[in-house]
């Protein structure tokens, strides 16, 4: 989930339908403590149990392990190896190429190829060695993010040169330093320091990053975040990001350098620029009776991390395998099409929705799998369902808080009543009953593959983990990924999609009853929060308005529950009873 792709709330939310999720408080039942299965949920059990029994976190982890070994950007070698691996796994699971599949085939896939505006960039190798030492202080094999995206290469065999410190890289600091023919050391912003250094005649740049607080840079001294510098086809220099530990080593060496014996380092950088296409994998289980209607999953391939987002790639591949197995066994018979999408974050999902207006019209729900495999004991992150905008995004209180990644308080006009968020949460709690999985949620923040769905007014959520001390750094490796987390998220996500793709009368009625119970509990929890606010001097009119908004929200969500149905289902009497219960809840 790249922070530089964050979409503004105004752009997303003014057109996005809202969703609901029970607001949690210290006095309400925590999300990590699911209630026992009720009789109303019996319709969910056969399919949910089959998914839970079949999902294999260890199998997903093997895919994650392979994918995370490569630095992945659209069109580059690592990205394409991940795409090839997914396609191979799909074939092994029984999916056939769409262009050669018979019309009756239900399990199909395709690999889409598109020309790219810019050349693909692949990092191959790098090392940095302080003069007089035999062992590199930093190398690509252990610091996968050390080469700036778009960096050029050193001459073959590397280059050895004096190091000159330009501090933050301001104009004054560059003017005071002799840069030509030297390697620049800077703590400034790489995107501005790099072109300035190249223009001044430097042969390369060593750049120290200032990481966000959640990366715990003082503790994780070897961490480097991936980021880019501007491409320059005329002065194609190179930039190596250095960790805090490497920075300290260079500083110590600089302190003992003299004018006659300056600090020298040997730097080697090998990268590749190539004209290559951007690939996307789309696999589908064609719906039996409503093939034009879809539940769409999306997992982005680019970014070099294990959790972000090799975990999404591996989890979604395992979900596609399990879904195919259940369809072949007759356990699942989706009436709607289930689509699995692997590609470039946000761009691939956005294209899927925009390139075909007829296809877009049939997409009913979306789900993004991003950073889904975390070993929370090691990363510090919690599993989260990032909700579509609901009242908790307007009145952020109780346990339902924004993450350190960041979000804004929304306006009431951004709320759109819907049931999808709660439905997803309940499927995750189904899993938690068996595994003691901790399930939490956060208000909408944006920045991953759920945002294109929301922009298109399609209900969608993000499944992810945060806060993560290794987020976007090269310490996000396979040891931070848990097969249990992969299985938990995969089971929750796939159960959601297959149940909604089924859309039978019993599932619709069960969803209505479940939603009504959640609504009642949420209103009671909100009443407790309001009462507490009043004891601390809160405004009674404001608190009454918050409760009225939640109540109206759920009533609106109940009115939309019929969207689940594949065939005609008379819900009028049942929905009126449900709304009466919500109106009476206190």
**Dist. CA 504–CA 498, nearest whole Å:** 11
As given in the structure block, the two tokens for residue 529 are: 């929060």
| Cα–Cα nearest to 231, from 198, 270, 184, 277 | 198
Residue 397 backbone dihedrals phi, psi, to 5 degrees: -155, 175
Model confidence pLDDT, tens digit, residues 530-582: 999 999 999 999 999 999 999 999 999 999 999 999 999 999 999 999 999 99
Model confidence pLDDT, tens digit, residues 70-82: 999 999 999 999 9
Given a contact cutoff of 8 angstroms between Cβ atoms, the answer to whether 394 and 20 are in contact is no
| Cα–Cα nearest to 522, from 448, 449, 417 | 417
pLDDT in tens, the chain (586 residues): 654 333 333 333 233 333 333 333 333 333 345 555 565 679 999 999 999 999 999 999 999 999 999 999 999 999 999 999 999 999 999 999 999 999 999 999 999 999 999 999 999 999 999 999 999 999 999 999 999 999 999 999 999 999 999 999 999 999 999 999 999 999 999 999 999 999 999 999 999 999 999 999 999 999 999 999 999 878 789 999 999 999 999 999 999 999 899 999 999 999 999 999 999 999 999 999 999 999 999 999 999 999 999 999 999 999 999 999 999 999 999 999 999 999 999 999 999 999 999 999 999 999 999 999 999 999 998 999 999 999 999 999 998 899 988 888 899 999 989 999 999 999 999 999 999 999 999 999 999 999 999 999 999 999 999 999 999 999 999 999 999 999 999 999 999 999 999 999 999 999 999 999 999 999 999 999 999 999 999 999 999 999 999 999 999 999 999 999 999 999 999 999 999 999 999 9
Long-range contacts (CB closer than 8 Å, 24 or more residues apart) made by 164-171: 164/202, 165/254, 166/193, 166/197, 168/193, 169/193, 169/196, 169/197, 171/196
**Dist. CA 190–CA 168, nearest whole Å:** 10
**Dist. CA 61–CA 291, nearest whole Å:** 31
As given in the structure block, the two tokens for residue 465 are: 């983990």
Number of residues assigned to the chain: 586
Helices assigned H by DSSP within 365-475: 376-379, 420-435, 450-455
Number of Cβ atoms within 10 Å of the Cβ of 432: 20
Helix (H) or strand (E) holding 118: none
Per residue, the 3-state secondary structure of 189-205, as one string, reads: CHHHHHHHHHHCCCCEE
As given in the structure block, the two tokens for residue 94 are: 């029984």
Strand, coil or helix: what is 539? Answer: coil
Given a contact cutoff of 8 angstroms between Cβ atoms, the answer to whether 441 and 581 are in contact is no
Based on its alpha-carbon atoms, the radius of gyration of the chain, rounded to whole angstroms, reads 26
Going 196 to 198 to 203 to 205, the CA torsion angle's sign is: positive
Given a contact cutoff of 8 angstroms between Cβ atoms, the answer to whether 446 and 393 are in contact is no
List residues bridging with 139 in a β-sheet: 127
Residue 26 backbone dihedrals phi, psi, to 5 degrees: -65, -20
């Amino acid at each position: 989930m790249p922070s530089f792709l964050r979409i503004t709330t105004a752009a997303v939310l003014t057109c996005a339908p809202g969703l609901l999720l029970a607001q949690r408080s210290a006095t309400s039942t925590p999300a990590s403590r699911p209630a026992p299965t009720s009789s109303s949920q019996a319709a969910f059990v056969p399919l949910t149990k089959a998914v839970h029994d079949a999902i294999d976190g260890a199998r997903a982890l093997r895919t994650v392990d392979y994918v995370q070994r490569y630095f992945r950007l659209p069109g580059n070698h690592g990205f394409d190896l991940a795409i090839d691996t997914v396609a191979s796994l799909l074939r092994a699971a029984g999916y056939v190429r769409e262009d050669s599949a018979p019309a009756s085939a239900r399990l199909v896939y395709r690999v889409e190829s598109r020309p790219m505006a810019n050349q693909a960039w692949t990092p191959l190798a790098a090392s940095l060695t302080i003069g007089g030492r035999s062992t590199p202080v930093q190398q690509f094999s252990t610091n996968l993010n050390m080469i700036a995206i778009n960096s050029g290469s050193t001459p073959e065999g590397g280059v050895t040169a004096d190091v000159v410190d330009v501090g933050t890289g301001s104009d004054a600091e560059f003017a005071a330093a002799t840069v030509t023919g030297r390697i620049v050391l800077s703590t400034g912003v790489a995107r501005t320091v790099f072109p300035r250094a190249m223009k001044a005649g430097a042969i390369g740049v060593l750049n120290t990053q200032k990481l966000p607080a959640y990366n715990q840079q003082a503790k994780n001294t070897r961490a480097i975040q991936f980021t880019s510098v501007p491409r320059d086809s005329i002065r194609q220099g190179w930039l190596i990001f250095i960790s805090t530990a490497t920075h300290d080593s260079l500083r110590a060496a600089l302190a003992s350098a003299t004018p006659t014996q300056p600090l020298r380092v040997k730097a080697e950088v090998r990268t590749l620029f190539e004209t290559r296409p951007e690939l996307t994998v789309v696999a589908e289980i064609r719906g039996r009776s409503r093939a034009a209607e879809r539940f769409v999953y999306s997992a982005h391939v680019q970014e070099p991390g294990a959790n972000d987002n090799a975990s999404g790639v591996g989890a979604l591949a395992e979900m596609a395998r399990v879904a195919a197995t259940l369809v072949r066994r007759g356990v699942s018979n989706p009436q709607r099409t289930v689509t699995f999408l692997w590609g470039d974050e946000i761009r691939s999902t956005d294209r899927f929705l925009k390139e075909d207006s007829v296809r877009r019209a049939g997409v009913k729900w979306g789900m993004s799998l991003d950073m889904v495999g975390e070993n929370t004991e090691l990363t510090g992150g919690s599993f989260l369902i990032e909700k579509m905008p609901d009242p908790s995004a307007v009145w952020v209180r109780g346990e339902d808080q924004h993450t350190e990644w960041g979000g804004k308080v929304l306006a009431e006009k951004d709320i759109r009543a819907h049931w999808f968020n709660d439905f997803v949460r309940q499927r995750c709690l189904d899993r938690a009953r068996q595994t003691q999985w901790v399930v939490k949620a956060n208000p909408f923040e944006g920045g991953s593959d759920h945002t294109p769905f929301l922009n298109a007014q399609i209900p969608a959520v993000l499944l992810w983990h945060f806060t993560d001390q290794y987020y976007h750094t090269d310490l996000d490796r396979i040891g931070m990924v848990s097969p249990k987390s992969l299985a938990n998220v995969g089971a929750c996500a796939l159960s959601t999609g297959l149940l909604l793709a089924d859309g039978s009368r019993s599932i619709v009625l069960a969803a209505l009853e479940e939603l009504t119970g959640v609504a009642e509990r949420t209103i009671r929890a909100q009443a407790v929060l309001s009462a507490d606010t009043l004891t601390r001097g809160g405004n009674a009119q404001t608190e009454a308005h918050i409760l009225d908004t939640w109540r109206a929200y759920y009533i609106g969500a109940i009115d939309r529950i019929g969207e689940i149905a594949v065939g005609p289902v008379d819900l009028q009497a049942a929905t009126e009873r449900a709304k009466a219960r919500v109106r009476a809840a206190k």
